[in-house]
Amino acid sequence: MDEHQYKMNTISLEKSIELSRNTIDIARQDGYKICVTIVDISGNVQLCMRDDGANYVTPESSRKKAFTSAATGGPTLKMAEKFSEKPHLFELTKAHDSLMLYGGGCPIVFNNEKIGGIGVAGAPGGHLDHEIVVKALKSVGAEIQG
């Protein structure tokens, strides 16, 4: 049996630092003070960076968005839109206390392989958090899902 058969690829610390730094810089260009959290493929926090002046609730919000996108494989903004059409589905968020259906989370994908999740909180609206995430993912050559 190949010893690498069960190895899962996940985001490296170096790539997490690069992606987080780019995310903060992109948000600053738009005038936002945000927090960005990167999780590995299992949803565990790899890195969390909170910009000076970012609201105190942003670390937990960004973590939950990153976790949700890593766990589900999709952007949290798209899930929030789908769930708003079917409000009874929000009951599913009670299945795990780290699920958050609000824009700002996306899976991190390279070479068609999901290696983690990114979450941003702090811009005035989930749609703006999502835009920051998409720009940041593009800045490091990641594939945009959804």
| Local confidence band at 85 (pLDDT 50, 70, 90 cut-offs) | confident
In this structure, what token pair is assigned to residue 120? 């941003």
Note the pLDDT of residue 1: 42
**pLDDT higher for 5 or 121?**
121
Task: Give exposure, 70-81, as e/b (b: 16+ Cβ within 10 Å).
Answer: bbbebbbbbbbe
Select the CATH number that applies to the domain covering 13-139 from these four: 2.40.50.1070, 3.50.30.20, 3.30.450.150, 3.40.50.620. 3.30.450.150
Residue 37 pairs with which residues in a beta bridge? 48, 119
First CA to last CA across the chain, in angstroms? 35
Weakest mean pLDDT among 44-48, 61-65, 93-97, 127-131: 93-97
| Local confidence band at 100 (pLDDT 50, 70, 90 cut-offs) | confident
% pLDDT > 70, the chain: 88
Domain boundary assignment for the chain: 13-139
Rounded Cα distance, 34 and 56, in Å:
10
